[in-house]
Amino acid sequence: MSEAKKIYIADDETNIRAGIKTFLTSAGYSVEDFENGDLLLEAFAEKPADLVVLDVMMPGSNGFVVCKELRKKSHVPIIMLTARDSDLDYATGLDLGSDDYLVKPFSPMALVMRIKAIFRRMELDKQTYAELDLLTGLSDKISGINQIESKLAESGNQSLHSLMMLDIDSLSGINNKLGRQAGDKVLLSIAEILTGLFDKGDTICRFGGDEFLVFSTDITSVEFAASMAQQICAADKTSSATVSIGLACYPTHGNSYSQLLSCTLAALSVSKEHGGNGYNLYV
């Protein structure tokens, strides 16, 4: 028997919150409710939910703020609730990443049916809800790691793969000096370079705020991996940003993701110590 889907509700109106919780619990969901968005964010950070229901107007962090914060780290489905039948509220919620929208007063059964529809779509088309980085469209950290570990599990010792970590040398400086939009353009530029250089079968993910991870399978040689790192360093001519790269290879430097990542990070550290704008192969 599968575990019940967990749903978090944030609404400052006690009666509405209690009514929703009663209905969703009766429908077979595990439900936790919160009187404001800040409490929900704290709970989500400790243990994520499968779906979130947010009231737009709440004291402290309102529904729009909470939705934006959740979207920085999760693709969890979000349904927004509002007392105003406003096109602006609707557009704002969708723009921030909400999946659906209900205007108060509403039938609790309507909410249950919408939740069921969202979960059904997720099961029928998991690729639509693939774990992607919202800015670049690349795989996010979690899905990237899962892909790499899956490929490593299928590899024999005769295979040769490479793992490289890219770190943008001056992204924080660009954000501070020119604004976050300029920083986002740099990130998009790096993502475009990577997708243009590597094969579709390779794994490219945004690993952190200014970091990318690339796992190339069945490469011809270590020298080939090094040449790819050189091409990345030389490719971005559209901005003042440069990248540092750490490189490690399977099975020479490790047979598991954790071993390869450790070597890659050590190589990246050396590249950074040498002033950035270059790559270093783990030795």
Residue pLDDT, tens place only, 181-197: 888 888 999 999 999 99
Query: Under CATH, what is the fold of the domain 6-124?
Result: Rossmann fold (3.40.50)
- pLDDT tier at 102, thresholds 50, 70, 90: confident
Write the CA distances from 264 to 220, 222, 268, 269, integer angstroms. 19, 14, 6, 9
- pLDDT tier at 128, thresholds 50, 70, 90: very low
Taking the C-alpha atoms of residue 264 and residue 280, their distance in angstroms, rounded to an integer, is 9
Q: Is the pLDDT of residue 237 over 70?
A: no
- Other Cβ atoms closer than 10 A to 56: 23
By the 8 A CB rule, do 166 and 232 touch? yes
Q: What is the pLDDT of residue 90?
A: 67
Alpha helices per DSSP H over the chain: 14-26, 37-46, 63-71, 87-96, 108-124, 141-153, 171-178, 180-197, 222-235, 257-273
Query: What's domain 141-281's architecture?
Result: 2-Layer Sandwich (3.30)
Q: What is the pLDDT of residue 176?
A: 82
By the 8 A CB rule, do 101 and 82 touch? yes
Instruction: Read off the tokens for 217.
Output: 């399978």
Q: Mean per-residue pLDDT for 241-269?
A: 94
Write the CA distances from 166 to 184, 194, 209, 243, 250, integer angstroms. 16, 10, 11, 6, 18
Q: Mean per-residue pLDDT for 199-224?
A: 94
Q: Is the pLDDT of residue 236 over 70?
A: no
Going by C-beta distance under 8 Å and a sequence separation of 6 or more, which residues neighbour residue 24? 7, 9, 31, 108, 111, 112, 115
**H or E segment to which residue 168 belongs:** strand 161-168
Going by C-beta distance under 8 Å and a sequence separation of 6 or more, which residues neighbour residue 56? 62, 63, 64, 80, 81, 82, 83, 84, 89, 93
Taking the C-alpha atoms of residue 219 and residue 63, their distance in angstroms, rounded to an integer, is 47
- Domain ranges, ordered by start, for the chain: 6-124, 141-281
- pLDDT tier at 125, thresholds 50, 70, 90: low
Please state whether the predicted TM-score (pTM) of the whole model is above 0.85: no
pLDDT in tens, 51-94: 999 998 888 888 899 999 998 888 899 998 887 766 676 677 77
